[in-house]
Amino acid sequence: MRWTWIPVAMLALLPPSAVRGQEQPAPPEPRSGVFMGMRLENVQQQDAGLSAVTTGAEFVMDNAGSIRCFQRIPERREVARVELPPDVLPLSLDRKNEFACVVSSPALTLSLQGDSLMILRAKRAVKLRFVGLFRPEYKADTAGKWLLIDGQGGFGVYPTSQRETARPDFAQSPWTIDYELPAGEEIWLSVFPPRPYNWHRAYEDLAAHEGNEKQYRYPSNRLIQSSARFCKVMVVHSWYWPGGDREPWRIPRFVPDNMDEFCRMRDEIHRNGMKLVPYFSPFYYSGDDFFGEVKRALDDYKVDGLYFDGVTMDFRTSYEIVRKTREMLGDDRILFRHCTTDPLSSARVYCPFIDTYCDYIYRGEAGRADLELDDFLRWTVSGYNISNAVGYWVYTGSTGKPGYVRQAPTQEHIDAALKHEVRLPRTEIGYELNLAWEPDDGHLDFFDKHYYGELKRLGKERKK
């Protein structure tokens, strides 16, 4: 996924200004739909200003143009302040629903959302200052977009225009990032984590990327039974979709090439107490009705979720697609998202406000982005106190050796992953793709014993 590709059908999901770069003539309707518990809990407008409380954040706006931004999970603290120029004031509440509210003036529109996003849209050119009120342990930027995290949470700033910014002086407290926002453009401010961590998902172990282009396009009963000894979810790759058996996986329709084999695989997975999450990819989809195909597949095939291999390289489009998908799935079915460098063409900077709509995030295929192992695992793979999606490590792409390495994780890497609330998939084919595979040939004996033993121990400690 190294190029920008946005299906034409998906451009309709964007606000008009995102497609045309034009000014909005009126405040937009706030997004609606409460998913995964993220909602707008309270809005109050008084003489002194306005406050909006969401599941994971609180935004407090005064009449002098200062917006104080608090995270609420795992505990309340002020992480950032947005300073607006006096000539954009006053701002007043236009409309609200259960998920978001819109605040506007003749110069600026703000949408405050239940997923802890604040979207600032300029009706004319506006200067903005973002003030950081904590010292980030991890800081990364690309094209003016900043991701700033410590062990408790943090925030990210995402302008829609490509621009560089002066690097903040993080030795100072507070520190600042300045932007000039052109008319019709937006800056998204993400306060995180937007929702509590899902400990149930963190211990609902995955067998990921099973299946290959040769004899295992549909995982065998033997492989399924072997995986079910440890796993509750089986994520199956693309090989059985027409187009999914060859790169670059330009799949026009999600119809198995052998329906009898698909049903055999699905039924065996369910019979062994696992959930089936098959491959779907907005990024590589080549048809003209992605969501129609998703709905049909969910209805007809009785699967338990979706595996997204990339979405798009535009963060606003990706956000809308993932939210729409979550709406279709509901909160109980699974969204497993493999995101190598999308949506920002970066392995270091990502979007917690997108990741939070996923149950699992799968990262590391592009390597460690020159980060030390602990930094790579804690800040780019783990979702803990960031998006609070459960982070899975694409181990074969970032073992520390060059290129793709087909091997089971070592004890050092297992221990490092678990220390940072990172999970590893159990993938018998994926770790040993070039070998003659048998489910009981001992390739994963150490992984099974050490990884699942440690995971069980940590689960018991947490319950205490």
Q: For residue 66, which phi and psi values (nearest 5 degrees)?
A: -105, 130
**Per-residue pLDDT for the chain (464 aa), expressed as one digit of tens each?**
433 333 433 434 444 334 333 344 455 689 999 999 999 999 999 888 999 999 999 999 999 999 999 999 999 999 999 999 999 999 999 999 999 999 999 999 999 999 999 999 999 999 999 999 999 999 999 999 999 999 999 999 999 987 889 999 999 989 999 999 999 999 999 999 999 999 999 988 777 767 777 667 899 999 899 999 999 999 999 988 988 888 888 898 899 999 999 999 999 999 999 999 999 999 999 999 999 999 999 999 999 999 999 999 999 999 999 999 999 999 999 999 999 899 999 999 999 999 999 999 999 999 999 999 999 999 999 999 999 999 999 999 999 999 888 888 999 999 999 999 999 999 887 776 444 444 445 578 899 999 999 999 999 998 88
Identify the domain boundary among 174, 192, 210.
192
Please indicate, yes or no, whether residues 176 and 221 belong to a single structural domain of this protein: no
CB 228 within 8 A of CB 416: no
Please indicate, yes or no, whether residues 275 and 411 belong to a single structural domain of this protein: yes
Identify the domain boundary among 192, 223, 251.
192
Say how far apart CA 333 and CA 267 lie, in whole Å: 17
Q: Residue 6: inside a domain, yes or no? A: no
* Global pTM value: 0.93
Tokens for 326, please give them: 């979550």
Say how far apart CA 234 and CA 96 lie, in whole Å: 40
Q: Residue 4: inside a domain, yes or no? A: no
Strand order in the sheet with 175-181: 40-46, 49-54, 57-62, 66-71, 77-83, 126-132, 175-181
Tokens for 316, please give them: 């606003």
Please indicate, yes or no, whether residues 249 and 154 belong to a single structural domain of this protein: no
Please indicate, yes or no, whether residues 145 and 219 belong to a single structural domain of this protein: no
Please indicate, yes or no, whether residues 184 and 139 belong to a single structural domain of this protein: yes
Look up the CATH number of the domain holding residue 446: 3.20.20.80
Identify the domain boundary among 160, 192, 224.
192
Please indicate, yes or no, whether residues 209 and 319 belong to a single structural domain of this protein: yes
Helices 445-463 and 411-419, packing angle to 10 deg: 20
Please indicate, yes or no, whether residues 206 and 63 belong to a single structural domain of this protein: no
Please indicate, yes or no, whether residues 62 and 147 belong to a single structural domain of this protein: yes
Residue 413 domain boundaries: 199-463
Q: Residue 220: inside a domain, yes or no? A: yes
Q: Residue 8: inside a domain, yes or no? A: no
How many domains, the chain?
Answer: 2
Please indicate, yes or no, whether residues 50 and 120 belong to a single structural domain of this protein: yes
